[in-house]
Amino acid sequence: MKAFLCRRYGPPEVLQLAEIPTPTPAANEILIRLRATTVNSGDVRLRSMDLPPGFGLLARLIFGLRRPRQPILGTELAGDVVAAGTDVSSFAVGDRVFAFPGEAMGCHTEYVCLPADGPVVAMPANLSYEQAAALSFGGSTVLDFFRRARLARGERLLVVGASGTVGTAAVQIARHLGVHVTGVCSGANAELVRSLGAERVIDHTREDFTRLGDSYDVILDAIGTASFPRARPLLAPGGRLLLVFAGLGGMLLAPWHSFISGLGVVAGPAEERIAYLHELAALAAAGTVVPVIDRAWPFAELVAAHRYVDLGHKRGSVVIRMEAAPDPSAVDSPG
Binding residues for ligand NAP, rule: CB under 6 A, are 40-42, 45, 138, 141, 160-161, 163-167, 184-186, 188-189, 204, 222-223, 225, 244-245, 269-270, 312-315
Coil, strand, or helix at residue 13?
helix
Q: Which is nearer to ligand NAP, 41 or 109 (CB)?
A: 41
Q: What share of the chain is helix, strand, coil (3-state, %, to 5)?
A: 35, 25, 40
Q: Are 31 and 91 in contact (CB under 8 A)?
A: no
How far is 78 from 133, CA to CA, in rounded Å? 5
- Contacts for 207 with CB less than 8 Å, ≥ 6 apart: none
Q: How far is CA 112 from CA 3, 75, 82, 84, 92, in A?
A: 10, 12, 10, 12, 15
Q: Which of residues 150 and 326 has its CB atom nearest to ligand NAP in the complex?
A: 150
CB 34 within 8 Å of CB 75: no
Q: What one-letter code names the amino acid at 88?
A: V
With respect to ligand NAP, which residue has the nearer C-beta, 124 or 161?
161
Nearest to 215 by CA among 231, 199, 193: 231
- Closer residue to ligand NAP, CB minimum distance, 199 or 332: 199
CB of 140 to ligand NAP, least distance (A): 8
> Smallest distance, Å, CB 159 to ligand NAP?
9
Provide, rounded to whole angstroms, the least separation between the CB of residue 318 and ligand NAP: 8
Which CB sits closer to ligand NAP, 36 or 244?
244
Nearest position to ligand NAP, beta carbon? 164
Tell the smallest beta-carbon distance from residue 295 to ligand NAP (Å): 13
**Minimal distance, residue 83 CB to ligand NAP, in Å:** 31
Task: Please report how close the Cβ of residue 123 comes to ligand NAP at its closest, in angstroms.
Answer: 21
Residue 81's DSSP bridge partners are: 32
Nearer CB in complex with ligand NAP: 269/334: 269
Distances 79 to 59, 93, 141, 208 between C-alpha atoms, Å: 30, 11, 22, 42
